[in-house]
Amino acid sequence: MLSSNRLRVLLEVFRAGSIAAAARELKLSPSAVSHQLARLEDEAGVGLVERNAQSLRLTDAGRRLAHRAQEVVDILEAAEKDLRAQARVDAGALRIGFFASAGYRLVPLALSRFADRYPAVTLDLVEGQPFELLPDLERGALDILVVFEHALDPWDRPEGIEVVPLLDEPQLLVVPNGHPAARRPRIRLADLADEPWITTFGADHPVSILERAGALEGFTPQIRCRSDHYEVTIGLVRAGLGVALVPSLGLHGVTGVQIRRLQTPQLHRRIGVARRATNPNPAAKSFTAYLRTAAAQLRNSLPA
């Protein structure tokens, strides 16, 4: 393997026309330049320089290698430029994964402010369930992943992944307008045991949070429909086809239904930012701060 540093020396000798001139440009002694050339010849296995008492010139092989050295130096300088750009928050790229209801307000609010501050950062956005996108975060295809975990279904974070908490978000009861449950001052999940339910498919297993909570209160919910799209869930509830549990982030601006908090303390999920502890991308740390600010703003405006 040829040394890139010695290739730089050869290139400078080619440009300057002499060892002395190259030494001045490289801020080395002439003997050091000669030594580097000799080492490069050993690595190449071919003579690169013709020397005599009065002058020095490159052999055909030396000139050909000098041209190649220019290509190598150009590539290295481009790589260094890219690295310097990545070391700054105001350049480079940021790859963000997030789940659907975080994409309603939380992520857009943070992104709009981040993009205004750092318009040169290239953003790559991927929507999906946390358990689907976590492998991408682990292998480096994502820098940031907005995640959630339910109090009734905690997950073990993989080694090397840290999670910065953003907010705790309640699971709220959604019923059609005029439903008797909306008039009760206190509602337990078991009070709705005979209702048809609209629920989710669950995360990486088929049992939803509703079914886990129902089991704790001694009943099995009657599932009429499963959907991971809260617009669908709310539309079915609005049409009187069932009741549902929906997290607060999925209820912004919803009309035509009644929203109530249940007397079940475990019915909440924790929203956070997952990232690799070793990720050197400075934009990841900066965007996390913007997410925390957005979460603090949303915390006071979520339906309660």
256-299 pLDDT, tens digit each: 999 999 987 778 899 999 999 888 888 999 999 999 999 999 88
pLDDT at residue 49, as a whole number:
85
| Burial class, 45, CB count within 10 angstroms (exposed 0-12 / middle 13-18 / buried 19+) | exposed
> Which one of 49, 66, 86 terminates a domain?
86
pLDDT at residue 275, as a whole number:
95
Q: Which residues contact 143 (CB under 8 A, 6 or more apart)?
A: 94, 95, 96, 275, 276, 279, 281, 283, 284
pLDDT at residue 303, as a whole number:
59
Banded model confidence at residue 58, pLDDT cuts 50, 70, 90: confident
132-187 pLDDT, tens digit each: 999 999 999 999 999 999 888 888 888 889 999 999 999 999 999 999 998 988 89
Say which CATH number the domain at 218 has. Answer: 3.40.190.10
Q: Which residues contact 167 (CB under 8 A, 6 or more apart)?
A: 270, 271, 295, 296, 298, 299
Average pLDDT over residues 68-74: 86
pLDDT at residue 201, as a whole number:
83
185/158 same-domain check: no
30/151 same-domain check: no
CA angle in degrees (0–180, nearest 5) for 141-144-150: 115
The helix-helix angle for 19-26 and 30-44 (nearest 10°) equals 100
188/255 same-domain check: yes
Q: Which residues contact 125 (CB under 8 A, 6 or more apart)?
A: 96, 97, 98, 107, 111
Structure tokens at 186: 């206190």
Give the mean pLDDT of the chain.
89
124/247 same-domain check: no
Confidence check: pLDDT of 45 > 80: yes
Domain that holds residue 21: 4-86
13/55 same-domain check: yes
Residue among 30, 6, 25 at smallest CA distance from 15: 25
Helices and strands (DSSP H and E) totals, the chain? 9, 11
Average pLDDT over residues 111-123: 93
Consecutive H or E run containing 285: helix 282-299
52/111 same-domain check: no
Of 84-88, 119-123, 237-241, minimum mean pLDDT range: 84-88
60: how many CB neighbours lie within 10 A of its CB? 10
286/160 same-domain check: yes
In a domain, 304, yes or no: no
Q: What is the pTM of this model?
A: 0.68
> Which one of 86, 104, 120 terminates a domain?
86
194/260 same-domain check: yes
Residue among 107, 140, 145 at smallest CA distance from 128: 145
**What domain count does the chain have?**
3
Confidence check: pLDDT of 77 > 90: no
In a domain, 288, yes or no: yes
Alpha-helix runs per DSSP H in 17-125: 19-26, 30-44, 60-86, 106-117
pLDDT at residue 116, as a whole number:
94
Confidence check: pLDDT of 209 > 70: yes
CA distances from residue 170 to 45, 110, 179, 256 in whole angstroms, order as listed = 71, 21, 21, 20
pLDDT at residue 55, as a whole number:
64
